[in-house]
Chain A
Amino acid sequence: MSTTDSVDSNSAIKRSSDTTSQDSIAQNFTESSPENGEIQSVEDGEDALEQLRVLLLGNGISHLENQMGNMQGSLNKVEHVLFDSQELLDRLVPIGVELISREISESRDEMCDVLAPIIDRLIYERGKEDLESMGEAISLALPSAIQAQIESSPETLARVLGPEISAAIRTQMDLKHGAIAEAIAAEMGEAIQRQIELDRDVMVDALYPIIGGTINKYLQEVINDINEKVSDSLSPEGIKRKVRARMQGVSEAELILRESSRFSARAAFLIHKESGLVIAEAQSEDAESLESDMLAGMLTAIRSFAADCVIADDGGSELNEIEYGSSRILLEVAGYCYVAVIASGEVPKVYLHKLRNTFGSLVQNYRKEISEFEGDLGTVPEDVTTRLSWLIEQGSSKEKKNSDDKESFPVVTWALGGIGVAIVGLFGFFSYQNYRVNQLETAAIESVAQDPTLGLYNLTAALDGDRMVMRGRVPSDNLRILAEHRMTTAVGAIDDGIAVDNQVRAVNVPPNPTAVAAEVHRTIQLFNQREGVNLDPAYRLRYDPASDTTQGEVTVNGSVGAVPVSEVRSALATIPGVDQVVTNLEPIMPKIGTRLYFSVGSANVVTIDRQVKLTPISNLLKRSPQVRLKIIGYSPSDETGGGQGLALERSRLVRQDLIERGIAPNRLEAEGRVGVPEDVTATSPDWAGRSVAFQAIP
């Protein structure tokens, strides 16, 4: 079909190019005509030639020309088709498939060689374009591909997939919860079993923490139970238990343990000793029914085995009990039969007594029937079964209580009655005591709790005999004393026989550093207001390796003036949070500009000077006790009658005056100099040199 189509379209193109080629030929003729018209003679000759040609060939030539024209047209068409790619494509597509398939069938290997280098690229590109259809295409082959790979080299596949398996499982776990578990579950038991076979110890080690934990948990529950019982030891239940313990002659602990693992009898069997056949049985309705015949047989076999192999030496010994976990089988043996009670929990002694009594009377009453028992239950009296049932009832936890009370009724009644009276009396006494204790303790605690400075601290008070013991912590000693005072007052108001035992401790509460710094600053400000004082404090927290604590340290720089350094130090040291004070102070002494002047050759202090000048000085000295005073007497070298002696006399007299005013002599130093004070110059009046000057010294 496709071949036919292509032929048709070829001829169509041929036809259209026919017309084009004819036009171009006509044009050629028109263009060449003027050249032809120039030489007439030649034309004439040509005409003759033409005529000759017509004569010889007829119209054949022109026909040939037409044919050539047509061929030219066809060539043009082919050229067009070859150079127009779209056109070429349109033509090649229909036959392309056939070409390729023919190529594949004829030369398969060459085709492979050609396609091989790009086939991966092809797949990749295609995959990028349409992943889904590519996936669909490959998916068909995938299973068999994997299958083939598994068969040919399983190790390679394992190596490839190995690292991703765990991730894949995890992903699946996220996607569908429980699916993996479901898949593995079936094999789990088998796997564990296999592992146990391979290496038992590893399995034991692996499971140990869990099993240990389970046991721990169980024990914890029992211990909790016991704890509860111990803690309610003063409750009616607890007192009852104490009485019961006394009466049963067991320790209270044992009784508690029994209560924690409550005894209950599940089944009782009367078994023929030799054959192991069941003579009579009774089973609790609460529990699942036991296979009595098999159980009796096996028990008998175990008994026999134990009798023959384990305790053969001592003919009288019998197996009394078989324990398994918290359950046990109690065995009581007589001549021809034995009774087996299957029970759980600790067996109360009372129950053992009942069991023995019942069994004893059974054996006594029905010796003949039991010894002649041949496996026919019809020969067993009904009473035997009834008594076994009674044993089960006695062993069930519900019934046990009632029967206990019933049996020991008179003694318990009297004991409880007596105890009851005592309890009522004690109760009254204790209630009053309790009330009084409560009242005192409440008052004591409230007294401190309501105090604004103490309310912050959690102080407790507990009455111990006639002492009110006060405990807690406060940040300072004065708060401790205050608390004691408050409590003493409050307690004394109720009962003045109660003494307060102050066990409150004053502890060093680390103060807020900002508050401490502010307080330091405020204190220093007070000092700075004094004359000659200019202090600059710095507060910081410092780790002290010696005491292994943080210490607040204040460093003070500047001049302390006349104020004693110790005063600054002690003032700072009283601030809570300041543990250490470092001072770096220069004591700047007050400048005393006062001078006394004297007449020539005289050492007498003028009266007015005594009042006006020496009084302030003496006041200054009184105000600043740390300041000492140097009194320097001058006598100019040209003074008539002057000299060292006069200079000293002047200062000595002033000193004497100050001593008389109450200044300690050791604070006053007198000195005489021949000459004038430094500030007195040659231009100064000559009296300025006859003087006494003062200098404050530390």
Chain B
Amino acid sequence: MAKVSKKICLVGDFGVGKTSLIRRFVDRQFDDRYLSTVGVKISRKLVELDPSLPDIATSEVQLLIWDLEGRNKFKAIVPSYLQGARGAILVADISRPGTLRSLEEHLDQFCTINPKSKVMVALNKADLLNEGLPIDTSSLKAVDDHSQVVKRYFTSAKTGDQVDDLFVRLTYQMLRS
């Protein structure tokens, strides 16, 4: 069976944990030192699929995961990096409400470029919730209601919580679309 590859992008403000999520998913590792991503970094992960599912034609998919430099007030994301992605994971940091608010902006940018793609939302650093951090998801309504957004996850790259689900779910969704 021929190899199937898909490009996905991780989008979000700087420091929300995009690189950490990828590192957790691809390398099964976590490091709480903050290293800023410059430009773009590409990782690859082979995702094995359940062959018993009737609507899935292939047994494995190679994900090419584009880790994009986080947007900050000086620098917008290079739009062309988003081109050709069949899926995206929008990432926000639950401890920084500003990053939640800018999810909508990221979503709009991505969906304008890739109108047929699937989007997952990852509210990262969920481990902080256990420490009693309050969270206000009211600003996420527009995001939740968007037609291309599949699901919203509370993830923790630190504990690995929901990280695999996030990526694997997106993979299935991309193949079905």
Contact = CB atoms under 8 A, between A and B. Distances in A.
Interface of A: 272-278, 293-294, 297-298, 300-301, 304-305, 307-309, 374-380
B81 A301 contact: yes
B79 A276 contact: no
29 contacts: A273-B84, A275-B7, A276-B7, A276-B64, A277-B5, A294-B44, A300-B84, A301-B66, A301-B81, A304-B78, A304-B80, A304-B83, A305-B39, A305-B40, A305-B78, A305-B80, A308-B79, A308-B80, A309-B78, A374-B6, A375-B4, A375-B6, A375-B61, A376-B4, A376-B58, A377-B3, A378-B1, A379-B2, A380-B2
A375 B5 contact: yes
A274 B42 contact: no
Nearest to A306: B80
A276 B61 CA distance: 16
Given A276-B64, A278-B5, A304-B78, 17 more contacts: A273-B84, A274-B84, A275-B64, A275-B83, A277-B84, A293-B62, A297-B7, A301-B39, A304-B81, A304-B83, A305-B80, A305-B81, A307-B80, A375-B5, A376-B5, A377-B2, A377-B4
Contacts of A307: 80
Interface of B: 1-7, 39-40, 42, 44, 58, 61-62, 64, 66, 78-81, 83-86
A376 B175 CA distance: 10
Contact of B64 (A273, A277, A304, A379): A277
Contacts of A278: 5
Contacts of B62: 293, 375
B96 to A, nearest CB: 27
B176 to A, nearest CB: 12
Of A294, A297, A379, most B-chain CB atoms within 10 Å:
A297
A277 B78 contact: no
Contacts of B44: 293-294
Question: In terms of DSSP, what is the predominant structure of the interface of chain A?
Answer: helix
A378 B5 CA distance: 11
Contacts of A309: 78
Contacts of B7: 275-277, 297, 375
A301 B79 contact: no
B56 to A, nearest CB: 13
Contact of A297 (B1, B4, B58, B64): B64
A293 B5 contact: yes
B70 to A, nearest CB: 16
B78 A308 contact: yes
Contacts of B61: 375
A297 B83 contact: no
Nearest to A295: B42
B85 A275 contact: yes
A276 B3 contact: no
Given A274-B84, A308-B80, A375-B86, A301 B40 contact: yes
Given A377-B2, A377-B3, A275 B84 contact: yes
Contacts of B64: 275-277, 293-294, 297
A8 B40 CA distance: 104
A374 B57 CA distance: 14
A427 to B, nearest CB: 62
Nearest to B83: A274
B24 to A, nearest CB: 19
A657 B85 CA distance: 143
A376 B2 contact: yes
A323 to B, nearest CB: 19
Contacts of B84: 272-277, 300
A275 B78 CA distance: 14
B76 to A, nearest CB: 10
Nearest to A304: B80
A619 to B, nearest CB: 121
Contacts of A304: 78, 80-81, 83
Contacts of B6: 277, 374-375
B55 to A, nearest CB: 15
Given A275-B84, A275-B85, A278-B5, A297 B78 contact: no
A304 B84 CA distance: 12
Nearest to B68: A301
Nearest to B81: A304
B86 A298 contact: no
A277 B87 CA distance: 14
A307 B44 CA distance: 24
A296 to B, nearest CB: 9
B46 to A, nearest CB: 11
A152 B62 CA distance: 63
Contacts of A377: 2-5
| 10 cross-chain pairs, A with B, having the tightest CB-CB distances, nearest first | A275-B84, A274-B84, A378-B2, A304-B80, A274-B83, A297-B42, A377-B2, A375-B5, A275-B7, A301-B40
B167 to A, nearest CB: 16
Contacts of A305: 39-40, 78, 80-81
A676 to B, nearest CB: 135
A378 B39 CA distance: 32
A469 B86 CA distance: 85
Contacts of B81: 301, 304-305
Contacts of A297: 7, 42, 64, 66
Of B7, B39, B78, B85, most A-chain CB atoms within 10 Å:
B7
B106 to A, nearest CB: 17
Nearest to B43: A294
B42 A298 contact: yes
Contacts of B78: 304-305, 308-309
B49 to A, nearest CB: 13
A378 B2 CA distance: 5
A205 B96 CA distance: 48
A524 B83 CA distance: 111
A294 to B, nearest CB: 6
Nearest to A336: B84
A293 B66 CA distance: 12
A374 B39 contact: no
Contacts of A275: 7, 64, 83-86
A386 to B, nearest CB: 16
Contacts of B39: 301, 305
Contacts of B40: 298, 301, 305
Nearest to A376: B4
Nearest to B64: A297
Of A293, A294, A379, A380, most B-chain CB atoms within 10 Å:
A293
